[in-house]
Chain A
Amino acid sequence: MTALSFRLLAAAVVSVGSLASGPALADGELNIYSHRQPFLIEPFIKKYEEETGTRVNIVFAEKGLVQRLQAEGEQSPADVILTVDIARLSEYADADLLAPTESEILEADIPEHLRDPQNRWFAFAKRTRVIAVAKDMPEAERPKRYEDLADPVWKGRICTRPGSHVYNRALTASMIAAHGVDGATEWAQGLVDNLARKPQGNDRAQAKAIYEGQCDVAIMNNYYYGKMLTSEDPAQHDWAAAIDIIFPNQGEGDRGAHINVSGGGIAIHSKNKDEARRFLEFLTEPEAQRLYADVNFEYPVNPAVGPSDELKSWGEFREDTLPIARIAELAPDAQKVIDTVGW
């Protein structure tokens, strides 16, 4: 085959191939790999597109985006990664898939314990894991700390989702940080012994179980309370009305309620890093920060922006200021604890 015909053939192959490829990497476009569902980030995207004229493209998946990014290597079209928990975020960082980003805005808007010391990832919103109790439970009986849930007094009265869910894993990691692996194992065993039923469903389903009388106590992320209150499904208003939420570990000298974060970073092979940085900065601005509360009942990370009125009405709380990265580091140990006790 002559060199010319070989080049022609190659050109044909390339052009056929490019038909199958996704959107071009033109300027004014931003490509996001997201662990959060499109319908929950759409309000942010719309706002950003309006403000900047940039077109935003999204792929949402829960699992395996790290491996996809890794496999795509230099060819990856991704600019920004968004996750819904710290463990995934640091998985990207550990795999060297995030580019360190210098930004005065991000540093000013996000407290130190909520961003990577090497500036590879940043938290944009936080949520706390609360204890939900049946509304008719007398004040004096209510659990005050996560630790209380291992007390045999709750035998057969607690509902949770499976322990290996990322939210419970993160909570267990925070217990390891506070009490060591042995202490956390003992706690988790106590909790499992107290379960009213096999762990199942999501957090919302636990509130429903309280409403149905299957249990008196549940663990859930705070935003599910808001989602039930405002649900299109009137039945869920009843579930929300059946519970009170308690911010745990608020006593004098106690460490505060466990939090987790939604966050993000810039893909290491992004060809569009300036735009990507602008997007991250946009997410920490007051307007976007307020959107987190409106859309998903999450707390802003930016100290200049207070929680929404709705969130405030649920009560104020003090958060555990353990560097959030520690939660990710301890996650594998937490999974072992969960396996050991069969949560």
Chain B
Amino acid sequence: MVTEVSQTFPDTSTRAARRRSKDGNRLWTGATALISLLLLAPIFSVFVAASGDGQGNWGHLVDTVLPRYVANTLILMLGVGGVTLIFGISSAWAVTRYDFPGRRFFEWALLLPAAIPAYLIAYTYTDFLEYAGPVQGLLRDIFGWQSARDYWFPEIRSMGGAMLVIGAVLYPYVYMMTRTAFLLTPGSLFEAGLLARRNLLFGIALPLARPAIIAGLALVMMETISDFGTVEYFAVRTLTLGIFNVWLGMNDLTAAAQIACFAFLFILALLAIELHARSRRRYSDTSKKAVPLKRLRARGVSLAGCLIACIAPIAVGFLLPVGVLLSFILRGYSLDVTPQVVDAGVNSLIVSGGTALLVIGVAGFLVFVSTYRGGPMLKRLAALSAVGYAFPGTILAIGVVTAAGALDSGAVAVLRDWLGFDFRGWFSSGVGLVLFACLVRFQAVGYGAISAGIQRLPPNLMNASRVLGHGFGASLRKVVLPLMRGSILAGGLLVFVDVMKELPMTLLLRPFNFETLATYVYQYAKDELLEQAAMPALMIVIAGIGPVMLMNAALRRLTRGS
């Protein structure tokens, strides 16, 4: 049975247990608050930068470019949101509701575009669709056109192009979350819907999957608003492009940070509205096991629909960009895998793996403690610490380096000046800084996956275990963690794939002589010489495929019931 229960679940613990846990509680909540604050320190730094004395550029900005930045950002968010919802929901519905040839393959292949960095897909699409590319070349051959003036062809470097390519690599967030939610919706509800002659997708599945869809969409929105590589390449003037023009063009970091904070608060407001809208509902299934709806065999129109819903996103988001990279390699560019590239690959794996573990540890800790031990304040703090995602990477990196610098200066003051150690700081030019920055940024991804998982658990699970005499730690270990394994694994793998693609923060914060695949590729791509780095670019994608397959296995286990 599914019941709607109020947000705070009834506390059934006894008075004695409550007293016993009081001291322990302080420790747990204190640690949670401390970690959250540490994660928020870089964001705080950005706000400090924003509070400085500007150079009076706001008047100029409002008069000239700011309205366009805001409008373009909103349009881009709407467009990317539309693309990700259409791709994500239709494919999720196809693979959960219907049975058709290749379904099990599509289930995981639909996650593949998550392995493609947005800036890479932008470059490859331009190569494919521009005047000199194969598509227009073929059209000219067929129709005998001589030059660009003889015909019209849609410009990929445009708002529409940006919506398509960003949406094509971000929809897997929506797909993953939605598919999981669909699978976890009990078949009994669909059966009731069938009897009441409701549309199963719009009447039952979507309303119940709403929190999951919104969670996926939130990640998409945050990544869209903070994207720099694609919008710069496509010359779409969004707030993020504006941030960099103000910062680097006018040497006004203060105004740039103000715009970044403005965009950030905007995202925060969106999230708050959604949280508020669903605060009175809580969807959880108290029955033992969700028996999903039996799949329908797809025939005729529904088969065609399923195939289109599955093939289109994969073709747009994966096959085409990989095909372009492969064609560079087949044409003889970027053939040799030099020791530098191998080193870069190893570094990428270290940073991605390290960050994934860190995020799982930190996000898991924050979610568990704030869910089971914390009041509403702690919950909000923990959720807030997962919003680094909404800042453009470079701006967040500046926040990170500033916060770390302040921390280091303090440590140096104590350790060197007071205690006399030869101490030069932990953070200056170490890999640690890159890991910390990635933790701050991708915390959102891990936090989202793990908190979505815990919301699916029966709310009284922990209380029941406590009543049976287990302590908090033991209950967590014996009862909650085993049920959460799938969510945690999926979250960690998603972080891994994301960090594999990460560019701006690694670029700015890395130590000397330290390349990841993304930074290595970038030094060529920035001069539009991607073909010379096609091999390492392809390696980024390949490194993401394994985790994507594992992620699918984790999701499958997760939804098979516990």
Interface residues of A (CB under 8 A from B): 7, 10-11, 13-14, 17-18, 20-23, 25, 31, 37-39, 57-65, 67-68, 70-77, 87, 91, 94, 162, 164, 166, 169, 197-202, 204-205, 208-209, 212-214, 232-233, 235, 331-332, 334-336, 338-340, 342
Query: Of all chain A residues, which has the CB nearest B420?
Result: A7
Is the Cβ of A67 less than 8 Å from the Cβ of B245? no
B337 to nearest A CB, angstroms? 16
Q: How far is the CA of A289 from the CA of B499 in the complex (A)?
A: 39
Is the Cβ of B249 less than 8 Å from the Cβ of A332? yes
Q: How far is the CA of A73 from the CA of B401 in the complex (A)?
A: 11
Q: A11-B421, A37-B526, A38-B523 are in contact. Are A17 and B512 (CB under 8 A)?
A: no
**Which residues of A have CB within 8 Å of B423?**
14, 17
Is the Cβ of A21 less than 8 Å from the Cβ of B424? yes
17 contacts between A and B (CB under 8 A): A14-B415, A20-B430, A37-B523, A58-B512, A68-B509, A71-B398, A71-B401, A72-B408, A76-B428, A77-B429, A162-B235, A208-B132, A212-B131, A233-B531, A235-B132, A334-B249, A335-B250
Q: How far is the CA of A70 from the CA of B508 in the complex (A)?
A: 13
**Which residues of A have CB within 8 Å of B99?**
none
Which residue of A17, A201, A233 is within 8 Å of B333 (Cβ)? Answer: A233
B542 at the binding interface (Cβ < 8 Å): no
- In the complex, identify which listed stretch (B17-25, B57-65, B269-277) lies at the interface while the others stay far away: B57-65
Between B234, B253, B401, the greatest number of chain A beta carbons within 10 A of the residue's beta carbon is seen for: B401
**Which residues of B have CB within 8 Å of A72?**
401, 405, 408, 425, 428-429
B195 at the binding interface (Cβ < 8 Å): no
B286 at the binding interface (Cβ < 8 Å): no
Is the Cβ of A22 less than 8 Å from the Cβ of B430? yes
Query: Of all chain B residues, which has the CB nearest A25?
Result: B424
**Which residues of B have CB within 8 Å of A13?**
415
Our count of residue pairs bridging A and B at CB distance below 8 angstroms stands at 184
Is the Cβ of B429 less than 8 Å from the Cβ of A59? yes
Is the Cβ of A58 less than 8 Å from the Cβ of B513? yes
B336 at the binding interface (Cβ < 8 Å): no
B100 at the binding interface (Cβ < 8 Å): no
B87 at the binding interface (Cβ < 8 Å): no
B402 at the binding interface (Cβ < 8 Å): yes
**Which residues of A have CB within 8 Å of B188?**
none
Which residue of B55, B235, B507 is within 8 Å of A61 (Cβ)? Answer: B507
Is the Cβ of B251 less than 8 Å from the Cβ of A331? yes
B248 at the binding interface (Cβ < 8 Å): yes
Interface size grouping (class) on chain B: 35 or more
Q: A91-B251, A339-B61 are in contact. Are A59 and B147 (CB under 8 A)?
A: no
**Which residues of A have CB within 8 Å of B432?**
20
Is the Cβ of B512 less than 8 Å from the Cβ of A31? yes
Query: Of all chain A residues, which has the CB nearest B61?
Result: A339
B409 at the binding interface (Cβ < 8 Å): yes
B465 at the binding interface (Cβ < 8 Å): no
Q: A10-B419, A77-B428 are in contact. Are A332 and B511 (CB under 8 A)?
A: no
**Which residues of B have CB within 8 Å of A164?**
245, 249
Is the Cβ of A339 less than 8 Å from the Cβ of B65? yes
**Which residues of B have CB within 8 Å of A342?**
64-65, 68
Which residue of A25, A39, A57, A232 is within 8 Å of B523 (Cβ)? Answer: A39
**Contacts of B306-326 to chain A: CB distance below 8 A:** none
Determine chain A's interface SS by DSSP, over half rule.
helix
B179 at the binding interface (Cβ < 8 Å): no
Is the Cβ of B507 less than 8 Å from the Cβ of A17? no
Q: How far is the CA of A267 from the CA of B526 in the complex (A)?
A: 26
Is the Cβ of A214 less than 8 Å from the Cβ of B398? no
Q: A20-B432, A64-B508, A200-B234 are in contact. List 17 more A-B contacts (CB 8 A).
A: A10-B421, A58-B512, A60-B523, A63-B394, A71-B402, A72-B401, A74-B412, A200-B235, A204-B528, A208-B132, A209-B131, A214-B149, A233-B333, A235-B132, A332-B249, A336-B250, A338-B249
**Contacts of B508-549 to chain A: CB distance below 8 A:** 508-515, 519, 523-524, 526-528, 531-532
Q: A169-B249, A199-B235, A233-B333 are in contact. Are A75 and B424 (CB under 8 A)?
A: yes
Across the A-B interface, the 9 shortest Cβ-Cβ residue pairs: A71-B405, A213-B147, A335-B249, A57-B512, A37-B523, A22-B511, A22-B429, A20-B432, A17-B426
B59 to nearest A CB, angstroms? 11
Q: How far is the CA of A22 from the CA of B504 in the complex (A)?
A: 19
**Which residues of B have CB within 8 Å of A214?**
131, 147-149
B506 to nearest A CB, angstroms? 9
Which residue of A202, A204, A213 is within 8 Å of B149 (Cβ)? Answer: A213
Q: How far is the CA of A61 from the CA of B519 in the complex (A)?
A: 9
B327 to nearest A CB, angstroms? 13
Which residue of A14, A87, A332 is within 8 Å of B55 (Cβ)? Answer: A332
Q: How far is the CA of A237 from the CA of B20 in the complex (A)?
A: 78
B118 at the binding interface (Cβ < 8 Å): no
B97 at the binding interface (Cβ < 8 Å): no
Q: How far is the CA of A132 from the CA of B192 in the complex (A)?
A: 70
Is the Cβ of A335 less than 8 Å from the Cβ of B245? yes
Q: How far is the CA of A164 from the CA of B64 in the complex (A)?
A: 14
**Which residues of B have CB within 8 Å of A17?**
423, 425-426
Q: How far is the CA of A166 from the CA of B251 in the complex (A)?
A: 12
Q: A67-B401, A72-B401, A169-B249 are in contact. Are A10 and B428 (CB under 8 A)?
A: no
Query: Of all chain A residues, which has the CB nearest B395?
Result: A64
Which residue of A39, A200, A204, A339 is within 8 Å of B245 (Cβ)? Answer: A339
**Which residues of B have CB within 8 Å of A197?**
155
Convert B140-155 into 0s and 1s, putting 1 for each residue whose CB lies closer than 8 angstroms to a CB of A. 0000001111000001
Is the Cβ of B528 less than 8 Å from the Cβ of A201? yes
B480 at the binding interface (Cβ < 8 Å): no
Which residue of A67, A87, A205 is within 8 Å of B253 (Cβ)? Answer: A67
Q: How far is the CA of A197 from the CA of B523 in the complex (A)?
A: 27
Q: How far is the CA of A214 from the CA of B136 in the complex (A)?
A: 14
Query: Of all chain B residues, which has the CB nearest A71?
Result: B405
Query: Of all chain B residues, which has the CB nearest A341?
Result: B64
Query: Of all chain B residues, which has the CB nearest A338?
Result: B249
**Contacts of B117-132 to chain A: CB distance below 8 A:** 131-132
